[in-house]
Amino acid sequence: MFMLRFYVFGLFVFSCLIALFFIQPAYAVSPGLVISQIQLGNTASASNEFIEIYNNSNTDSEVTNWCLYYASAGSAQIGSKMSCFTPENENIHLYLPGHTFSFAISSQLSSSQPNLGSDLKFSATLSGTAGHVRLVSSGGQELDKIGWGTTAISAEGLKPAVVPTAGKILSRKNLLSNILQDTDINNDDIELTLPKAAYSYGSIYEVQDFCTNLEGIQTSVPNGYTVDSSNNCTPPPVDICLNLDGLQTTVPDQYWRDGNGNCQKDSCININGVQQKLPEGMRFSDDGICVLDLLPLKLTELLPNPVGSDDGNEFIEIYNPNPTQVNLSEYRFIVGTSGVIYEFPSESIINPNQYLSFSNKDIKFTLLNTTSNVKLISSDNQQIDESPSYNNPGDGMAWILIDGLWQYTDQPTPGMVNLASMINSEIETTASNGLVPCAANQYRSPETNRCRLLASSVSILVSCKDGQYRSEETNRCRSIATDVSQLTQCAEGQERNPATNRCRSTSAVLGASNLVPCKVGQERNPTTNRCRNVASAIPVASYAPEQANESSNNSILLWSLVSVGVIAAVYGIWEWRQEISNIIRKVRMGFHNK
């Protein structure tokens, strides 16, 4: 039983302590200022009125723009303004010291007693039968109120003070020598007394705020600040870049500020935003700007004027001289002076030492038959390579790069090693032998050294000899490589064509062993050998999930604790009822013995 009582007592004490922590007292604005006395007139004149205000606290209270109001007995409104503590200008603040008085008198009383000093004056307006006087702050908050007469409907506590008899005034009761009673019930706080022999005034003092734009009252200009004509104080300028010469009040353009107060140069002034360091995947160019760190690629072949239709037959070829694979996602090209930027097809990859061509079917570009060129650029518009301009190439003549020199060839090789022109070679040979060059639509027979019409100029093609095949590009017969005494080894990235025994690029073979692995969430299309997205098997919700918010409620916790405390108290009183009864009996006996 003892442990149970001890437990209940501990629970009660704990509940009381928790309640003390959660229950906070509410404070009124300047609760110490009260209306201490009111004279509604005297035997000499009903207009000889005064109102006394007292600072009931130990601290000085600001009274700037506080006002006295009067309202009739039947009015619940604030009433009409009588007089205010108004400073000379907005930079002045007025204070009433603790335990001092302020005195306001009517103009009529001032005239009848010229030697009677005061802090405020007002026009006589107080009723001798019933009414209300209020003290109101600059923000419109009622600080104190005295209502008198039985018909005053807005007195504090709804109990107005008694109307003074002849020669008496309304006076707030004294509790101690310098404390006046203020229970917010006028009938209890106010008594009728004779006026004082003398009244205090002049205690209010002024404080000038030298910096109206700063929080709080500045009785002097802070050190280092400057003040303008509007009493706004400006702090001294602060150098926020300690490592730079001169005063920097803001971070200069193209700089950023580190944690030590030093301003550092933007690493990439050509990129929007501040780059504290060189971004990943970029490098500094010769001009000192940040560019994409891309591997160099070469333009190697253009076919602007193919035999037959241009649609799908024009092509641009690039070569990867690097030992690593290159993704073309950050590469672009421009044709001629059009300014149009073309992107390569998605997921385009060029392997080491590989030639890769793109037709105007893959990318919708146009190569003029007259003159033009191609620029290879990066996605940030840095030039990577540029071909020289070609001029009026013949049908089927490609503009190619061989051994660092751009030239024409009658042997276009999209996606393969470039081949020199056969026509040019024959012309050079015949010229060296003193032979007359063949016409444009002719070639010189290697067997007879005579000029013959190109196959494209003959309506009916003559069958090739044994050991030869017909070229699809020129319609001419060529020797099959098996008849050659010794085959030249194919270059890396090529294989030998079983039909012609000539080398061709392996990138054109579906299912080649050097395919780039597909990304996560993709699979390889067995038809095209390209990567494609895998359809997700997870159903997608038709709505977005909502965040469930749970807010705490301190009031529920408070009342729960208070309830527990009350229950514990009741239970404790019940358990200790006999002890409590004995204590009360002993106390009574002690009083009887006295």
Residue 431 is predicted with a pLDDT of 43
Say what the pLDDT of residue 553 is.
47
Four-CA torsion 8, 13, 18, 24, nearest 10 degrees: 140
E strand spans, 166-248: 169-172, 190-193, 205-208, 226-227, 233-234
pLDDT digits (tens, 9 = 90+) for 219-230: 899 988 999 988
pLDDT reported for residue 444: 59
Q: Is 207 in contact with 217 (CB distance < 8 Å)? A: yes
Buried b (16+ CB within 10 A) or exposed e, 52-66: bbbbbbeebbbbbbb
CB 79, CB 72: distance < 8 Å: yes
Q: Would the pLDDT of 375 be above 70?
A: yes
Above 80 in pLDDT, residue 486?
no
CA distance 184 to 396: 110
The phi-psi region of residue 167 (left if phi > 0; otherwise alpha if psi is between -120 and 50; otherwise beta) is left
Q: Is the same domain home to 169 and 278? A: no
Provide the pLDDT for residue 499: 59
Beta strands at 120-122 and 101-106: parallel, antiparallel or unpaired: parallel
Give the pair of three-digit tokens for residue 561: 């604790």
Sign of CA dihedral 287, 291, 296, 298: negative
Most confident option among 3-17, 347-361, 548-562: 347-361
Digit-coded pLDDT (tens) for 13-22: 555 555 444 4
Q: Which pLDDT score, from 0 to 100, does residue 577 have? A: 73
CATH number (domain holding residue 352): 2.60.40
Strongest mean pLDDT among 267-271, 288-292, 368-372, 464-468: 368-372
Q: For residue range 86-136, what is the model confidence (pLDDT) as tens digits?
A: 999 889 999 999 999 999 999 999 999 999 999 999 999 999 999 999 999
> Quick check: 37 and 171 in contact, CB under 8 A?
yes
H-helix or E-strand containing 532? Answer: strand 531-533
Does the structure show a pLDDT above 70 at 473? Answer: no
Cβ-contact 148, 163 below 8 angstroms = yes
Backbone angles phi, psi at 284, to 5 degrees: -85, 130
Tokens linked to 69: 């109001």
DSSP 101-158: EEEEEEHHHHHH-TT---SEEE-----SSSEEEEEE-TTS-EEEEEEESTT-TT-GGG
Residue 487: band (very low, low, confident or very high) from pLDDT cuts 50, 70, 90: low
Residue 120: domain span: 33-203
- The answer, yes or no, to whether residue 155 has pLDDT greater than 50, is yes
Q: Report the alpha-carbon distance of residue 268 to residue 380 in Å, rounded.
A: 13
Q: Are residues 289 and 303 in the same domain?
A: no
Q: Which two tokens stand for residue 482?
A: 């098996």
- Identify whether 221 is part of a domain: no
CA distance 79 to 50: 18
What's the DSSP call for residue 313? T
Percent of the chain surpassing pLDDT 90: 50
How far, in Å, CA of 360 to CA of 335, rounded? 12
pLDDT at 392: 94
- On whether both 85 and 142 belong to a single domain, the answer is yes
Residue 335 pLDDT > 60: yes
* Planar angle of CA 364, 372, 382, nearest 5 degrees: 75
310 shares a domain with 286: no
Domain total of the chain: 3
- Number of neighbours of residue 72 by Cβ within 10 angstroms: 17
- Is 6 within the bounds of a domain? no
Q: What is the CATH number of the domain that holds 175?
A: 2.60.40.1260
Mean pLDDT of 73-88: 95
Residues 145 and 266 in one domain: no
Report whether pLDDT(552) > 80: no
In this structure, the answer to whether residues 117 and 195 fall within a common structural domain is yes
Among 268, 293, 318, residue at a domain's last position: 293
Does residue 249 register a pLDDT over 70? yes
- CB contact at 8 A, 444 and 451: yes
Rounded alpha-carbon distances, angstroms, from residue 2 to 9, 13, 35, 141, 567: 11, 17, 56, 55, 18
Q: Is the pLDDT of residue 385 over 50?
A: yes
Question: Could you count the other beta carbons within 10 Å of the beta carbon of residue 343?
Answer: 14
The CA distance from 34 to 128, in Å, is 21
Residue 237's pLDDT band (cuts 50, 70, 90): confident
Please, what is the average pLDDT of the chain? 80
Whether residue 75 has pLDDT greater than 80: yes
Please give the pLDDT value at position 268.
80
Please tell me the predicted confidence (pLDDT) of residue 20. Answer: 46
What pLDDT does 531 receive? 58
In the predicted model, is pLDDT for residue 544 greater than 90? no
What's the pLDDT score for residue 4?
53
Sorting pLDDT into bands at 50, 70 and 90, what band is 247? Answer: confident
**Exposed / middle / buried, residue 190 (Cβ in 10 Å: 0-12, 13-18, 19+):** buried
Where residue 28 falls among pLDDT bands split at 50, 70, 90? Answer: very low
In a domain, 461, yes or no: no
**pLDDT beyond 90 at 195:** yes
Which is more confidently placed, 583 or 381? Answer: 381
Are 283 and 309 within one domain?
no
301 neighbors 317 (Cβ within 8 angstroms):
yes
Q: Does residue 383 share a domain with residue 271?
A: no
Q: What is the pLDDT of residues 422-443, one digit of tens each?
A: 865 544 444 445 555 665 556 6
377: Cβ contacts below 8 Å, ≥ 6 apart: 331, 332, 333, 334, 341, 383, 384
Which pLDDT score is estimated for 430?
A: 43
CB-based burial label for 116 (10 Å; 0-12, 13-18, 19+): middle
Q: Which of 394, 420, 446 is the last residue of a domain?
A: 420
Q: If DSSP codes are grouped into helix, strand and coil, which group holds residue 318?
A: strand
- Give pLDDT, residue 24: 39
Rounded (5°) CA angle 42-44-48: 55
CA–CA separation, 56 and 34 (whole Å):
7
Q: Looking at the domain assignment, is residue 63 inside a domain?
A: yes
Letter string b/e over residues 467-501, b meaning 16 or more CB atoms within 10 A of that residue's CB: eeeebeebebbeeebeeeeeeeebeebbeeeeeee
Cβ neighbour number for residue 161 with a 10 Å cutoff = 24
Same-domain status, 52 and 148: yes
Residue 322: which of 349, 304, 302 has the closest Cα?
349
Highest averaged pLDDT of the listed ranges 43-57, 287-301, 479-493: 43-57
Q: What would the 3-class secondary structure string for 51-76 be?
A: EEEEECCCCCEECCCCEEEEEECCCC
In tens, the pLDDT along 301-310 reads 999 999 999 9
304 domain-assigned: yes
Q: Is 119 exposed, middle or buried (0-12, 13-18, 19+ CB in 10 A)?
A: buried
Q: What is the DSSP letter of 77?
A: S
**Three-state SS at 591:** helix
- Rounded to a whole number, what is the distance in angstroms from the first to the last CA of the chain? 37
User: Which of 269, 293, 317 is a domain's end point?
Assistant: 293
**Mean pLDDT of the 188-216 span:** 94
Same domain (yes/no): 289, 251 = yes
**CA-based nearest residue to 298, from 383, 380, 360, 361:** 383
Query: Based on the domain organization, do 285 and 310 belong to the same domain?
Result: no
Q: Is residue 498 part of a domain?
A: no
| pLDDT surpasses 60 at 528 | no
Task: Supply the pLDDT for residue 509.
Answer: 37
Is 330 part of a structural domain of the chain? yes
pLDDT of 427: 43
Would residue 528 count as lying in a domain? no
Helix (H) or strand (E) holding 292: strand 290-292
pLDDT given at position 488 = 67
Q: Is the pLDDT of residue 458 over 70?
A: no
Residues 315 and 279 in one domain: no
HSE-CB of 237 using CA atoms within 13 angstroms = 8
User: Looking at residues 363-373, what average pLDDT do you find?
Assistant: 95
Confidence band of 540 (pLDDT split at 50, 70, 90) = very low
Least confident of 82-86, 211-215, 557-561: 557-561
